[in-house]
Structure 1
Amino acid sequence: MYRELNTPARTIMTPGPVEAEPRVLRAMATPILGQFDPAFTEIMDRVMKMLRDLFQTNNKWAFPIDGTSRSGAEALLCSIIEPGDKVFIPIYGRFGYLLNEICERYGAEVHTIECEWGEVFDPEEVIKEMKRVNPKITAIVHGETSTGQMQPLEEIGKACREQDILFVVDAVASIGGTPVKVDEWYIDGIVGGTQKCLSVPSGMAPITYNERIEKVVQARKKVEKGIETEDDRQNLGNNPFIKSNYFDVSMLQDYWGPRRLNHHTEATSMIYALHEGLRIVLEEGLEERFARHKHHEQALMAGIEAMGLEIYGNLESKLPVVTCVTIPEGIDGESVRKMLLDEFTIEIASSFGPLQGKIWRIGTMGYSCRKENVLFALAGLEAVLIRHDAPIQVGRALQAALDVYNNN
């Protein structure tokens, strides 16, 4: 006989997934409704309204893609990329490469620039390169969890609008934890994540896009509908219609819009989860939520530095919800992570590529972003580092974090 699930309790302090809001988990146990039941379509409409508030936009279209965060990026990009289109991607960490791969798979001519991991781009450098490349699309990551950095977007977005370039942003790590102002920053299309600052389980990718994106999508859909014979198809040359069926946002518009045309069977329980997660975010208030994330970040950083450890990366462009810590010389970072998990049930993350084995990444996101979690993580990390004979300042981390809490 197979045993009933009995998962261990964890304190999850990674850059995602994070601990789910208990109210979200309860919402997922709500009875199932048919996807065209008026009671359920009313819930869908409320989700769209709440997503507009979260993204700080007046866009008509704001809805989730069923799938992990990557599905949202693919839906936006595949719906606007035609083979041979120029796409410009500034890369400053792991997830810029992911945008690159998605665009290449849909036939784009991708141009990239890169900077050192742990830094971000001067917006002027990005704007200068956009003028040289003259792309149809500029795609960029807002919060790069692999390096703990956050790219300023407003100047880049304004330049995209002035140059008639579509501006697509990955805000998977930042949405719900730090300001993301879609309209003010001239963002045409953006994808968020549920499993990070929203504290909803992974499985949906909220997106929003404006009329500039919709115009491109509808033009391609019109071409596709006009194809009647194989000769028509051959005459199109590069085949400008949308290749993906599942990620075709023009079809999803028909599903989420008033027509309610069947596209897929909706992930009902995940819609319940997203609805409750968004409700909690907006109930707290965006500005209050952003301030909470900054507050706990400051306490964590104070404890890390008081311990004698070094924060990795440019502090001026630091992503508020992820703190990267340089692993002390001679210390086995994976051994520390394992002992933290085994002895304290605390999970922190390693990193990718050139930073593998060089930094730990500690997330303070959503429901995981709490005073008790920060203090517990600092205490556990100090204890484990003592057992590894690391050269740290013993007894100072918690006091420094408490100073932050008591002074605010």
Structure 2
Amino acid sequence: MEKQDLTKKSYDELRPPQRLLLGAGPSNVDPRVLKAFISPMVGHLDPFFIKTMDETVELLRYAFKTKNHITMPISGTGSAGMESAICNLVERGDEVVVCVKGFFGERIKEMIERCGGTPITIEAEWGKIIEKEDVERALSESKAEVVALVHAETSTGVIQPLKEISRITHQYGALLLVDAVTSLGGCELDVDEYGIDLCYSASQKCLNCPPGLAPITASEKAMEKIRNRKTKVQSWYLDLSEIEKYWIENNRVYHHTAPILLIYAMREALRLLYEEGLESRWRRHLRNA
């Protein structure tokens, strides 16, 4: 094969076109977020960056409407958030009730299988919601300790009611795992009021931030299950009990090099959300949906 001679080729300055992005995500990014994104680089243990991390965690708690201690952005896209949630909660042989009503419910099911879990699948026609009676039936007929579902299914736009499913899930002593990739910041979501035990999202949708971060929040019950696992979490990189030592603990322990500029951007995107007000942001999305 002929070797390519790059000395004969020139590369122009990158000039992406201006687009109005009207899909589910990625979404357009506010100029303030872009400005934060090109701020000066510092080290990942710099005191300024530690303060930025702490403020980002506070703002994420506001966005999720939670007091959960373990609330932080994972380095990776929404699928990394999904994989982290599942590989932390699911061990080989575990039964998991998984609600499938679209493309991303199917992805959750596949990740459960990859972790060695056994999905107890509840299916609804695409465009329809999962009925609470089906969840109760699945829990009563299995030994599942987790119920997993998508709040707002990107592939169909359907929002799944959560309160009754949460009540039934906890009635059977199980944990509720919720995919809020499309819904965080875009429609009503109250992690504490709904009793969600583990919830993850993504930066590039209703948070209007560049792709590459997956906000996640976990209840004490969820973290207790994770810390009492019989086996190590399948992924070292996505192990919440390790990541929390870098993001949450007072004496920070290096886990991996954080995407510093992305976290600047997320902090500013969340600051915009805070300034607008969460309920006002929900109403704006509802009006324009």
TM-score, scaled to structure 1 = 0.67
The amino acid of 1:71's aligned partner reads A
- Aligned residues of 1:16 and 1:196 also touching (Cα < 8 A): yes
Q: Does the 8 A contact of 1:204 with 1:270 survive in 2?
A: yes
Equivalences for residues 216-227 of structure 1 within 5 A:
216-220=225-229
Aligned to 1:241: 232
The 2-side partners of 1:209 and 1:10 are apart by 36
What CA distance in whole angstroms lies between the structure 1 residues aligned with 2:57 and 2:150? 23
Deviation of 1:98 (Å)? 0.5
Cα displacement string for residues 124-172 of structure 1 (whole angstroms, at most 9, x for unaligned residues)? 2222222222311110000001111111011111111121101100000
CA contact (8 A) 2:120 2:138 kept: no
Separation in structure 2 between the aligned mates of residue 155 and residue 190 of structure 1, nearest angstrom:
17
**Cα distance in 1 for residues equivalent to 2:122 and 2:131:** 12
Q: 1:157 touches 1:186 (CA, 8 Å); kept in 2?
A: yes
AA aligned opposite 1:64: P
Q: Name the residue aligned to 2:6.
A: none
Secondary structure at the counterpart of residue 283 of structure 1: helix
Name the structure 1 match of 2:255. 263
How is 1:179-190 mapped onto 2 (pairs within 5 angstroms)?
179-190=188-199
Give, in whole Å, the separation in 1 of the partners of 2:130 and 2:155: 16
* Higher share of residues assigned helix: 1
Equivalence for 1:20: 29
Q: Does 1:214 align with 2:234?
A: no
Correspondence 1:43 to 2:52? yes
2:169 partner SS: helix
Is residue 80 from structure 1 mapped to residue 72 from structure 2 by the alignment? Answer: no
State the AA in 2 paired with 1:88.
V
Residue 281 of structure 2: aligned partner: 289
CA distance in 1, matches of 2:133, 2:120: 17
Deviations 1:337-369 (A, max 9, x none): xxxxxxxxxxxxxxxxxxxxxxxxxxxxxxxxx
- Aligned residue runs from structure 1 range 287-366, under 5 A: 287-297=279-289
Give 1:253 shift.
1.0
The answer to whether the Cα contact below 8 Å between 1:194 and 1:203 also exists between their aligned partners in 2 is yes
| Distance in 2, Cα, partners of 1:275 & 1:90 | 32
Q: Unpaired segments of 5 or more residues in structure 1?
A: 224-239, 298-408
Answering whether residue 107 of structure 2 is matched by residue 115 of structure 1, we say no
Alignment-derived partner of residue 134 in structure 2: 125
Structure 2: 5+ residue stretches without partners: 1-9
Contact 2:183 2:189 in 1 (8 A): yes
Q: Which has the larger radius of gyration?
A: 1
CA drift at 1:215: 0.7
Contact kept? 2:122, 2:130, Cα under 8 Å: no
Q: Which has the higher contact order (CA 8 A, sep 6+)?
A: 2
The question of 1:150 aligning with 2:159 is answered yes
> 1:35 touches 1:265 (CA, 8 Å); kept in 2?
yes
Correspondence for 2:114 among 94, 102, 105: 105
Q: Does the alignment pair 1:253 with 2:244?
A: yes
User: Per-residue deviation at 1:284?
Assistant: 0.2
**Residues 177 and 198 of structure 2 are in contact (CA less than 8 Å); yes or no, is this contact kept in structure 1?**
yes
Number of equivalent positions: 279
Alpha-carbon contact 1:123-1:152 (below 8 Å) kept: no
Shift of 1:289: 0.8
CA–CA separation in structure 2 for the residues paired with 1:273 and 1:266: 13
Matched position secondary structure for 1:243: coil
1:279 is paired with a residue whose SS is helix
Letter paired with 2:266: L
Q: Which whole-Å CA distance do the structure 2 matches of 1:131 and 1:52 have between them?
A: 33
3-state DSSP of counterpart to 2:84:
helix
User: Given the two structures, how large is their TM-score scaled by the length of structure 2?
Assistant: 0.94
Q: Which amino acid is the alignment partner of residue 245 of structure 1? A: W
- Structure 2: distance between partners of 1:90 and 1:131: 15
Contact 1:87 1:109 in 2 (8 A): yes
Runs of 4+ in 1 over 4 A off after TM superposition: none
In structure 1, C-alpha distance between the alignment counterparts of 2:122 and 2:58, rounded to whole Å: 36
Q: Aligned to 1:133, what secondary structure does the other structure show?
A: coil
The residue type paired with residue 133 of structure 2 is: E
> Quick check: 1:198 aligned with 2:204?
no
Instruction: Give the % identical residues.
Output: 40
Cα distance in structure 2, aligned partners of 1:214 and 1:113: 26
CA RMSD of aligned residues (A): 1.0
Aligned equivalent of 2:4: none
